[in-house]
Amino acid sequence: MNHAGLFKRAGVEEYDLYTLKAAVNEVQLRGFDVEIVRGPVESIGYTCRALSRRGKLTGLGRSSCSNSAKLEECIKSANYLSHLNLLETKYEFPSAKRDKHVKIADSQILKGDAQAVQTYAKRLLSALKAETKSKPTVKPTFGKIRTYVLETLLENSSGLEKRKTETYFYIELALKVSSGTKLAEFWPRKFSRTIEAITPDRVLPKWIRLAKDMIKAKMPATRKMTVIFNPQSVCDLLVPTVGFHALGEMKFKKQSVFKEQDVVASENLTIHDDGLHDYALVSSPFDDEGNSQEVTKLIEKGVFKNYLYDQKYALNMNEKPTGNGLKATGANIMNKHGAAVVGSPTNLSIRPGRLSLEKMVSEVKNGILMEQFSWLNPDRMATSFSSEIRNAYLIKNGECTQVLKGGMVSGKALDMIKNISGISNQQFIESGATAFSCIAPYIRFENVQVVGK
């Protein structure tokens, strides 16, 4: 189909068109049974943006549809909307540039059939069945195993035409442990780009251990102590907060507390926004406006260095775009085409330290090793949070002595990063419950408020 012709016919000179075709296959488990086999689940979405100008004013209108036959109508709507919101801001669609290569697809998932999820489900269930004879007993109560194949085409009036095919794999599993009348659970959820990254052999031993340990869990006491955040918790703590204050848009709106060259964190903290990390979850050759994704230094040895820019705020602040114009992802991967493009971090990459996790734990007199919060969802602006402990260990004199559940950990992310006493020597590609992507090690924070009985 000649999309340029459709825009021309509607009298739209400046535009972009984002097309996302998605195919999902999924198996959901109830106990050891397959509750449902879903697939194919297929969707297509077209989102067009039209730009209109009047003097110094520009207006952007956005409209979406899920049927190519409605595209012409969709373009007319976007054009109409673009005349309604003329504002004194600059905008132009990016022109084509050469992007860097980054790995974002798994050949096993790309086959696009249901075989991959069904084979995975069999392997998972067989590994879990072997656990039913152990004490305390571990059983799955439910699970989701899902693959995504996403094909994106982005074209615009500046001659840009970019395509990519990417994959995701998702697993969610609730492992219940029972011993007498006592019950406990470990409920992990994880995205990756490949199946290989989360095979049952890689993840199950730790998940089963965490589930089993939880049967002895108690609530912590109320006091300030050292808390080691696991990589997933680091993702949920830092991406929404550091990511928010590092946006050029927030500097423009006076909502960022960061200033270039200010000391904002402990000297041991270095963070990059890495849009080009192989198989990280928001890696891509180009962002959702067509600008090349990059690696941008945010915090270097505790000093804030650079803001992140989407196309609009780069133009309005006389900066270069850093490839951070993204559509919201999260749980709505299949529908993300319809979301607005906003400034957003890609994958925050936190430079590993020198300590092993064991060493980090051994240096703690009184503290907690966090494995999972119920939902760490900090206030992006104030950066404060208070979240229930779902799975954690109490550390006494360098050893994990007691399993913890219940009670809360509270703090302010931007205060906590000034109080980092250790960073582990390994990084993990993680997805959190609030933030979609991070490449993070374990981080040890001092003087954190813990609340319990």
User: Which residue, 132 or 375, has its beta carbon nearer to other proteins?
Assistant: 375
Q: Which residues contact 325 (CB under 8 A, 6 or more apart)?
A: 287, 288, 289, 291, 310, 311, 312, 341, 342, 343, 344
* Least separation in angstroms between CB 253 and other proteins: 5
- Amino acid identity of 451? V
* Least separation in angstroms between CB 174 and other proteins: 6
User: Which residue, 416 or 439, has its beta carbon nearer to other proteins?
Assistant: 416
* Least separation in angstroms between CB 395 and other proteins: 20
* Least separation in angstroms between CB 9 and other proteins: 19
The three-point CA angle 45-47-48 to 5° equals 150
Q: How far apart are CA 255 and CA 24, in angstroms?
A: 38
Cis peptide preceding 345, ω within 30 of 0: no
Work out whether the CA dihedral 129, 130, 132, 133 comes out positive or negative.
positive
Which residue blocks in 41-159 are alpha helix, DSSP H?
A: 71-84, 107-110, 115-131
* Least separation in angstroms between CB 101 and other proteins: 31
* Least separation in angstroms between CB 422 and other proteins: 23
Work out whether the CA dihedral 146, 289, 3, 105 comes out positive or negative.
negative
Reading the block at residue 109, the tokens are: 């998932």
User: Which residue, 81 or 197, has its beta carbon nearer to other proteins?
Assistant: 81
Residue with tokens 């590994």: 127
User: Which residue, 398 or 406, has its beta carbon nearer to other proteins?
Assistant: 406
* Least separation in angstroms between CB 188 and other proteins: 11
Residue 91: count of CB within 10 angstroms of its CB: 17
**Closest CA relative to residue 45, chosen from 77, 18, 24, 69:** 18
User: Which residue, 57 or 110, has its beta carbon nearer to other proteins?
Assistant: 57
39: left (phi over 0), alpha (psi -120 to 50) or beta: left
Could you tell me if 61 and 82 are in contact, meaning their C-beta atoms sit under 8 angstroms apart? yes
* Least separation in angstroms between CB 353 and other proteins: 26
User: Which residue, 136 or 406, has its beta carbon nearer to other proteins?
Assistant: 406
User: Which residue, 33 or 260, has its beta carbon nearer to other proteins?
Assistant: 33
Q: How far apart are CA 370 and CA 364, in angstroms?
A: 13
User: Which residue, 100 or 224, has its beta carbon nearer to other proteins?
Assistant: 224
User: Which residue, 39 or 275, has its beta carbon nearer to other proteins?
Assistant: 39
Burial 115-145 (b: 16+ CB within 10 A, else e): ebbbebbeebbeebeebeeeebebbbeebbb
Q: How far apart are CA 210 and CA 316, in angstroms?
A: 49
* Least separation in angstroms between CB 62 and other proteins: 4
Q: How far apart are CA 442 and CA 106, in angstroms?
A: 27
* Least separation in angstroms between CB 108 and other proteins: 21
For strands 348-350 and 438-440, give the pairing. Answer: parallel
User: Which residue, 236 or 274, has its beta carbon nearer to other proteins?
Assistant: 236
